[in-house]
Amino acid sequence: MSTDTHSDSPAARRRLDQIKAELERHNRLYYLEAAPEISDFEYDALMRELMDLERRFPDLRTPDSPSQRVGGAPLDAFQTVTHRVPMLSIDNTYSPEELREFDDRVRKGLGGESPAYIVELKLDGVAISLRYEKGVLIRGATRGDGVRGDDVTQNVRAIRAVPLRLADGAPESLEVRGEVFMRNAELDRLNKLREESGDEPYRNPRNTTAGTLKLLDSRTVAERRLEFFAYDIAESEGVNIVSHLQTLRDLQAWGLPVNPHHQRCGSMDEVIDACQRWHEKRHTLGYETDGMVVKVDAAAQRQRLGSTAKSPRWVIAYKFPAEVARTRLNNIVVQVGKSGALTPVAEMDPVKLAGTIVKRATLHNFEELAKKDLRLGDTVEVQKAGEIIPQVLRFLPEARPAEAVAYPLPKACPVCGGEVHKDPDGVFLRCLNLSCPAQVKERLEHFASRKAMDIDGLGPALITQLVDKGYVTGPADLYALHADRLCTLDRMAQKSADNLVKAIEASKARPLGRLLFGLGIRHVGAHTAEVLAGHFGHIDAVMAAPADQLQGIPDIGGVVADSIRDFFDTPQNRDLIEKLRSAGVNMEEVLAAAPSGPRPFHGMTFVVTGTLTKYTRDEIHDRIKALGGKAASSVSKSTTYLVAGESAGSKLEKARQLGLAILNEDEFDALAGGNT
């Protein structure tokens, strides 16, 4: 090795130390002082220079280097860590009266003393614990069940707002609690990328943050711009904690970002006033908050108040009430999905709701529309479910125009004019014309989506052009596209056309499960498609299987079996399969190598139901499979565990009747983490 690449090169060490100091200084300016001096481009140029130096002089790379923020090699699974100080939950209040009751309990616990409070924003993110030794970040862990959490250090290092090394004067040993979150603008950026690639958009910043921290590949975490605010000290060496206000100042002095919107209040009247002011003002922040956190300021008073087994007695959360706005229902338009389902959508006068302007809201189906008796011209109340998805709650009878009439059921498809029928045992009206342009576009988007054939670059805008120009009438036509024809489309240059043709060609090798999912068979999701592919191994065997044989496969009941048979008994669909076969699309299951990591869930069957807060459905299924378990879709005697989120319904009831073990998400995490 030449002398200029030797690890003890003084010049390299000096330059490397200089770049590291510059990058950390710019992080402090951006996240602590909100006074950036350089652009993202200039910051990235410094990072590239640092990484190049570390590649040339690997002995100079340290765990606290800013280069660690780009992510490392994927993990097989997360390890479980035990919190030295439990991460307790916080009780909620929903009204000023309940806040006053909390104040009465605090005063009683303090023998009549009058406490001062610190009021902070309650970020709608994910709680995290960070441990520093000698000023260097050594561990980041999720809350988990409060006692044990997942070690997500590698992912935390990818968050630029989290300092890898604390400033001078920080304690030798320090454990910090804080919140990881995502700004609304970053969610919008990610969803634009997902729209272009044909993927479903992320629903809200909180769930996206939680899912990001659970990713086993920190390189993807680094690509998503998560942020962090510290809000408390769990443990510290040599620090005399006097008050929470001083704690926030100390955290910031040590280089940890702290939310600037906190206030010391001398009375509960001041607390309530602060909460009510932020109810409206929070929409100017650019990130989601769902309430305020009210904490006794004095450390000595906190110690006297103590904690219950669940939560401290010196802190309470005030949850903002759901916002409801009134507006006028101007029109109802009908959208047609890939399965031909007709969905009514309300078009309304623009109204500000939870910080955004709302103009449209889904009405789900025509039975729901009839049940709510919504009519054009009605004044309606609109709410955001979870402050994300607009929904029409009801109309105001006293404001209904005399001429308002019920919205008629469509007798024909609004796109192609084709015949529509109601599902025999369901609520949806469907267009029966398989050549309906709206269905074709939706089916193509689904076929090209990430979980199906994963055709990079084939997004909704391009599909619309392909269908409208008559270049494509179904999935098989994609494999006949050439770059010269694609170049005739708007915003399609030669390089983009060449890349798309390569992506379409690469999709031919996808495993059978991806193809079966991409075909859009009713009731056949990604998991059921994998089950079919794993059981039969070849599409011809699936096509030939009678309904009773299909029903003999775990997770496939009568409705799903009949749907599969109906699909493959339809001549147009069998013709599609032959066209795809002729184009060279793989028709067999590609067996993956057996995982090399621990498989503690081997032999276990999990069913997931309800609304999850930490995972998407695919993420929890992937974790179950990565640990050797089976993710099933229906509850039976062979089910080992039911993982139940919020609003769990019939599956939860059936699991109780069968006496099955039922887990919430934290309990699932503890089971998964405790065995890895």
Query: Under 8 Å CB-to-CB from 281, ≥6 apart: which residues?
Result: none
Cα of 512 vs its chain's centroid, Å: 27
Measured CA to CA in angstroms, residue 431 lies from 37, 407, 439 at distances of 57, 18, 9
Query: Under 8 Å CB-to-CB from 584, ≥6 apart: which residues?
Result: 479, 508
**Nearest 10 degrees: CA dihedral of 318, 324, 325, 327?**
170
Measured CA to CA in angstroms, residue 641 lies from 214, 336, 636, 651, 676 at distances of 21, 37, 10, 11, 18
Q: Are 271 and 131 in contact (CB under 8 A)?
A: no
How long a stretch of residues is the chain?
676
As a whole number of angstroms, the distance between CA 511 and CA 335 comes to 32
**Catalytic residue (choose from 122, 295, 384, 441):** 122
Selection from 128, 170, 168 nearest residue 151 by Cα: 128
Residue 372: active-site member:
no
**DSSP state, residue 214:** T
Q: Say how many C-beta atoms besides its own lie within 10 A of residue 637's C-beta.
A: 7
Ramachandran area for residue 285 (φ above 0: left; ψ -120 to 50: alpha; else beta): alpha
Cα of 131 vs its chain's centroid, Å: 26
Tokens 């032999």: give the residue. Answer: 603
As a whole number of angstroms, the distance between CA 161 and CA 255 comes to 10
Active site residues: 122
